[in-house]
């Protein structure tokens, strides 16, 4: 059955539908030997679709994985600097999958990976406001005062942001464990919020995204999401 080309590309996990629309507009997709146009449909049973000269084919089974990313790994499928990346941790997943969002090199914890481009786009789109909770080990001169600063609006990169929740779960002298929940999530947002409040981050782990929790999954290990877990994100988007 013919489908829009951007949908086919997203279903094969190459990228989100929005990104597919851009490469079609850039002339990087062809159908039966001619440059495709935005909105064109194709049937992979009868048409040859090339993306950057490579055929769109392979297993269309959608896969959804939860990885407990360790520190020291970059959230990319390859790295020009030769650093360890998350693709090395899911090599036995049996198909190409991609990370949804990012965790920086020195952060760890819950990372969703999938080959479902539309699903990934829903999770990342700011309008869906999927909450993310981080366990953050910090040090500072006055932890209680810094926590109060974190609970109010703080300014990072010239923009005012506010955490959905900040909980002080443990404190010992000048060190403490915080649970910080944010919505959209900008680049290194939690670290920048802590710096604004006078705190130095010693460790940062994402432990929850939407209704999905990291649980007792060991560092560097992964598991498939259950049908109920996948559906919970779709309900959050409804």
Quick: pLDDT tens for 41-72. 998 877 888 999 888 865 567 889 999 999 99
Question: Among residues 43, 52, 79, 104, which one is catalytic?
Answer: 104
From CA 17, how far away is CA 112, in angstroms rounded?
18
Which residues have CB under 8 Å from 143's CB, separation 6+?
168, 171, 174, 175, 176, 199
What the chain holds in terms of domains, given with CATH numbers, is 3-55 (3.10.290.10), 64-127+214-237 (3.30.70.580), 131-209 (3.30.2350.10)
How confident is the model over 153-182, as pLDDT tens digits? 999 988 999 999 999 989 998 999 999 999
Say what the pLDDT of residue 59 is.
Answer: 54
231 is catalytic: no
Cα–Cα distance for residue pair 188/29, rounded to 1 Å: 34
Burial zone of 41 (CB within 10 Å; 0-12 exposed, 13-18 middle, 19+ buried):
middle
């Amino acid at each position: 059955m013919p489908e829009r080309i951007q949908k086919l590309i997203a279903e094969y996990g190459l990228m989100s539908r929005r990104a597919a629309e851009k490469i079609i507009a850039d002339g990087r997709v062809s159908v039966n030997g001619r440059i495709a146009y935005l909105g064109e449909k194709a049937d992979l049973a009868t048409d040859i679709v090339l993306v950057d000269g490579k055929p769109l084919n392979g297993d269309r089974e959608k896969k959804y994985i939860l990885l407990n990313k360790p520190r020291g790994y970059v959230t990319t499928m390859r790295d020009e600097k030769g650093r360890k990346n998350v693709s090395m941790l899911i090599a036995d997943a049996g198909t190409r999958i991609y990370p949804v969002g990012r965790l920086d090199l020195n952060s760890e914890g819950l990372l969703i990976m999938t080959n479902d481009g539309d699903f990934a786009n829903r999770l990342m789109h700011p309008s869906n406001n999927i909450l993310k909770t981080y366990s953050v080990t910090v040090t500072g001169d006055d932890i209680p005062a810094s926590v109060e600063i974190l609970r109010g609006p703080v300014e990072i990169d010239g923009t005012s942001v506010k955490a959905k929740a900040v909980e002080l779960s443990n404190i010992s002298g000048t060190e403490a464990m915080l649970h910080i929940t944010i919505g959209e999530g900008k680049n290194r947002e939690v670290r920048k919020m802590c710096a604004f409040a006078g705190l130095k981050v010693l460790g940062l782990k994402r432990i929850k995204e939407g209704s999905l929790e990291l649980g007792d999954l060991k560092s560097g290990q992964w598991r498939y999401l259950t049908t109920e877990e996948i559906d919970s994100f779709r309900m959050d988007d409804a």
